[in-house]
Structure 1
Amino acid sequence: MSKYTTLKKTRGDGYDRIQWYDAKLNTHTIRADDPVTARTVAPEERTRKPGKWKGQKPYQGHYWCAGARASVFHESMTEYAGMMLIDHLYDIVKVYAQPMLMTFFDGLYHYPDFLVIEADGTRHVVDVHPKALTKPGDPEKFAHTARVCEVLGWRYTLIDQLSDIVRMNVEMMSRYRHHRYTPAPDIADHILGTAKKHETFGELRRALATDKPGELMPFLFHLMWKGELNFDLTDRFTEHTPLTAA
């Protein structure tokens, strides 16, 4: 059994505040009302570290983020799935788990699940919280978080439900998310060009067949993961699924 540790919240004083740890566990605090000052937020350690205990149900671990090319802690498999979806949908360069403590003007406080840095510099706060686990006060915390992010010019995403179909579709592509599956430019052009002439996945798969069974499939799925080939994530993926080259 390991001990639960966390950055302690401050009292509400009429202002929204953000706190985080640097690499030496020094605490940094800013008032969350200025986009320029908010650029100094640079988490190096998790502000909330849940413990482990015998019989524990949530499965803790690490997700390898393809965009950041680094492992990120997840507190449950629901968080794992949520982070995988964000990794697929956005161009990520860095990601931090339990990155900060937000204390709001009215005394409510919240530890967001992830802070994502996108390639264009956008800061993106992500919460993964199933509706079934929502407790009194949670909606207010998420609303406050969304409001603060809007003030700071950050993106905010709350994943409160994720269908089995969406999860399975993302998992299917994620097997090929690693950059080692990146096709050479000529192969990528060949796949994308062929996709423009064939409407469904099955048609495209057959058109890309070589004398080596499945030779181009890892590259095809990597292009799907990167969003260069798109399909409806909310629909079951089959041979008849339409694919569209971006």
Structure 2
Amino acid sequence: MRPVVEAWRISPRPRTTHTELHWVRGSSKSDVRTRGHEWGVADRTLGELNWVEVDPARVRSSVGVRHRFTPAMYYWQRTRSHVWCESQEERRELLWLDYGGQVERLWSQPFAISWGRRSRLAGLSHFPDFLGQFIDGTYGLFDVRPKARIDERAKLQFAETAAMCELMGLRYQVLSGHDGRATGNLECLSASRHDRCRPSPGVESGILEAAAAGQSRRALCDLVSPGCPPLACEWVDNMAWRRLLDVDLGAVFSSDTVYTTSASALTSMAH
């Protein structure tokens, strides 16, 4: 699998006074050699740039990671495209971002940050892991680092990145992991996140009504598909993924796992 363009070596300008962003302009389908290397000072004006039009190129930068090949891809259904991840940790964090429902679009390693002389990281560069566009149209950066691996150097890098984002008017968040069992359960639900697993409106209403006081997964499946209960499993899980049903992700999943109609779904039913 070769999901990304061949690595493009961005060479930030040395000894800059201000912190700068460097990126490669052009369509993700164009030849990387025909793209132009662009840069700008990290300020409010650059923060208002329409990054959808810029279409940031993904650039591999981590030490020890082979170019052209990747250990993980995540299918981002909102844009019907795969998001490239350098590690399974990054892919798991995208799973949680997807479940949260607040991010509309994602780009991997969209640009390089070249720290200026006024920064405590002067002379160094950093490639944020992801650039996201939220459902309200605003943008934000994400860095992924397991909590156990956040040392003093990483804390400094994240602090400087957060300060730069504040200057540019971008959001910023360090994603440092979730409970292993909860992540595994969310992986199970995500298998039914696609539209093909969505139940019909009538079936969905029946499930919401039945689960108002809480029902086991087995009971819900027996109720809406008595002739073939396994057929309803993807319907129930799809509704849990869409947060129409609440479920304890930290508990062991089984046929007796209880699904309960969410407060937001109950409000919608009342109207």
Please indicate, yes or no, whether the TM-score normalized by the shorter chain is above 0.5.
yes
Take 1:15 and 1:235, find their aligned partners in 2: how far apart are those partners?
A: 49
Tell me what 2:89 maps to. Answer: 78
127-136 or 79-88, larger mean C-alpha shift: 127-136
> Is structure 2 residue 171 aligned with structure 1 residue 160?
no
Tell me what 1:11 maps to. Answer: 14
200-209 or 157-166, larger mean C-alpha shift: 200-209
C-alpha change, 1:190 and 1:158, in structure 2 (3 Å) is same
Matches for 1:115-194 after TM superposition, within 5 Å? 115-194=131-210
Identity of matched residues, %:
23
> Is structure 2 residue 51 aligned with structure 1 residue 34?
no
Aligned partner (choices 16, 25, 29) of residue 35 of structure 2: 25
Question: TM-score scaled by structure 2?
Answer: 0.76
Aligned partner (choices 78, 87, 103) of residue 92 of structure 1: 103
Tell me what 1:243 maps to. Answer: 260
CA contact (8 A) 1:32 1:38 kept: no
3-state SS in 2 of match to 1:189:
helix
> Is structure 2 residue 52 aligned with structure 1 residue 52?
no
C-alpha change, 1:148 and 1:71, in structure 2 (3 Å) is same
C-alpha change, 1:149 and 1:190, in structure 2 (3 Å) is farther
Deviation at 1:177, TM superposition (A): 1.7
3-state SS in 2 of match to 1:18:
strand
CA contact (8 A) 2:214 2:261 kept: no
Deviation at 1:35, TM superposition (A): 5.8
Radius of gyration: which is bigger?
2
Deviation at 1:60, TM superposition (A): 1.9
C-alpha change, 1:185 and 1:28, in structure 2 (3 Å) is farther
Take 2:259 and 2:236, find their aligned partners in 1: how far apart are those partners?
A: 14
**What RMSD in Å do the two structures reach over aligned CA positions?**
2.9
Unaligned runs of 5+ in 1: none
Unaligned runs of 5+ in 2: 27-33, 265-271
Take 1:130 and 1:110, find their aligned partners in 2: how far apart are those partners?
A: 17
Amino acid at match of 2:23: W
C-alpha change, 1:223 and 1:111, in structure 2 (3 Å) is same
3-state SS in 1 of match to 2:188:
helix
3-state SS in 2 of match to 1:19:
strand
Aligned residues: 241
CA contact (8 A) 1:209 1:216 kept: yes
